Amino acid sequence: MKHKEILLLLLMLCGTLQLFSQDKVLFFQTDWGFEGDLETFVQKAKASGYEGIEIWAPREIEQQQKVMRLLNENSMQVIFLCGSNSSLPFKESLEVYKSYLKNTLELKPLAVNSHTGSDFYTKDQNAAFLKEAKKLSQLYKIPVYHETHRGRFSYSLPETLLFLEKNQVQNLTLDVSHWMVVHESLLINKDKLMERVIDKTGHIHARVGFEEGPQVNNPAAPEWKDALERHLSLWESVIKKVWEKGKTPTITTEFGPPNYMPTEPFSKNPLSDQWEANVFIMKVLKERINNLH
């Protein structure tokens, strides 16, 4: 075998090894709806198999110190939530957002998940939030992921694509359950459009929605098999794309409490256990990921 052929073979082998070495996924648990204290939450998340937590960034120094201490003690990572206040006038909202995001990044989380802008702001106004987030993300060298979310600049697939086409947003958190409701569809015939979103996605909010709601009553129930499979397929595409870039995908399981969680009439008892639903999704995803290798 000639030297060039040997070199080519080695490069191909290295490429294969690199491809299969990018098999790590980090899972985060939401504290949304958790009724215990922070220490109990962190410990329960770790015991359930999560690598970290996702919570709203605390503003008070004492609470910031408490969060960081508990993360340290339990060897857990954190993705902080941060967002703009869409009830404020644009200029005021932008200034508050910049300050909150800067303070959040100074805490050095693994990443930030941002609720950005408003569906009532103009495109130029929403672009201003994205521009400021990009500057701060580059300054602190921490990714800021903009969540696809009803009520925000990214409330729909077509609207989000307009910002992608102008290169105004580079990093997304894909919570596709929101779009299932907005478009009253599992987006089965929109794969080509979804590819453009997936290419810019680094973080996932894993909750199963359906055509008429952002959260099924129990993701393990057989009647939601098609919705679950559709979400898993899209999430798998994100994971593969992030691996291709040599990065580590992050996933927050985000089934929420009532009123996101469907309830019984009158008693308002939830139809399933929120924590169990999130752990179920993590386990299904881990099994799916193992089958990719």
Query: What pLDDT does residue 22 have?
Result: 58
For the chain, give every domain's residue range.
22-290
Q: Is the pLDDT of residue 142 over 60?
A: yes
Q: How many CA atoms lie within 13 A of 115 on its CB side?
A: 17
- In angstroms, what is the C-alpha Rg of the chain? 20
Q: Is the pLDDT of residue 18 over 70?
A: no
pTM: 0.92
Q: Is the pLDDT of residue 19 over 90?
A: no
The candidate with the shortest Cα–Cα distance to 228, out of 207, 205, 214, is 207
Mean of per-residue pLDDT scores for the chain: 93
Query: What pLDDT does residue 238 have?
Result: 98
Q: 80-109 pLDDT, tens per residue?
A: 999 999 999 999 999 999 999 999 999 999
Q: Is the pLDDT of residue 20 over 80?
A: no
**Identity at 42, one-letter amino acid code:** V
**Identity at 10, one-letter amino acid code:** L
Average pLDDT estimate for 209-220: 98
Q: Is the pLDDT of residue 241 over 80?
A: yes
105 and 136 Cβ atoms separated by less than 8 Å: yes
Q: Does domain 22-290 have CATH number 3.20.20.150?
A: yes
Give the orientation angle of helix 157-165 with respect to helix 123-140, to 10 degrees: 60
Q: Is the pLDDT of residue 16 over 80?
A: no
C-alpha distances (whole Å) from 98 to each of 64, 91, 143 are: 18, 11, 15
Rounded distance between C-alpha atoms, residue 59 and residue 51, angstroms: 23
Instruction: Categorize the per-residue pLDDT at 23 as very low, low, confident or very high, splitting at 50, 70 and 90.
Output: confident
- Per the structure block, which two tokens stand in for 136? 């701060």
The candidate with the shortest Cα–Cα distance to 280, out of 211, 231, 214, 247, is 231
Q: Is the pLDDT of residue 42 over 90?
A: yes
